[in-house]
Amino acid sequence: MRIAVIDENAVRAAIIEQGLAEVGERDVFIISEREGMVQAIAKIEPDVILVDLGNPSRDMLEEYFAVSRAIAKPIAMFVDQSDEDSIAAAVDAGVSAYIVDGMSQRRLKPILDLAVRRFNAFSHLQSELQQARDALADRSIIDKAKLILVEKRGMTEPEAHKLLRSHAMNNNKRIAEIAEAIVTADQLLGDF
């Protein structure tokens, strides 16, 4: 597993790196500068990101939450103390594990594993949600196209669907693509 450790404190970063080495993690990359952080992360291409902030200010948290939103990777964030607003903001930003009350070496591996699993589960849910939205949008455009065919060509709904399906098969396209073309043509031509 490639792990990017983000910590501005070199001593803490070294402790984290040592702790990860003790649990068998060898591909550990330390990022100690906030300047150019997103580019550094992209260059490393980590599997998981571990952020140790100690006692961050609200502005620093917001900056790291913005990074979390920009990078689609599992993120485990460690802070010494927090409040309800910061925890909610972390969840909204997509932080996979937000650990309050610091970090200990013995907890590193289980927390990283948890972050990866939560990230993967959330990504899977997002993918399913997008598929459902796409299917709903396809269904909507197909229904509009069938309505146009029923009204303008005097077809029944099953005949309209059969026409859409056969035209899609003959042209090696999805039914939704054919339906969209019909709806667009109807909008352009109107009552001609």
Q: What is the pLDDT along the chain (192 residues), one digit of tens a residue?
A: 888 888 888 887 887 888 788 777 778 888 888 788 888 888 888 888 888 877 766 677 777 777 777 778 888 888 877 778 877 777 777 788 888 876 666 777 788 888 888 888 888 988 999 999 999 999 999 999 999 999 999 999 999 999 999 999 999 999 999 999 999 999 998 765
Strand order in the sheet with 75-79: 28-31, 3-6, 48-54, 75-79, 97-100
Backbone angles phi, psi at 77, to 5 degrees: -115, 130
pTM for the full model? 0.63
Would you give the DSSP letter of residue 133?
Answer: H
* pLDDT for res 103: 66
* pLDDT for res 35: 81
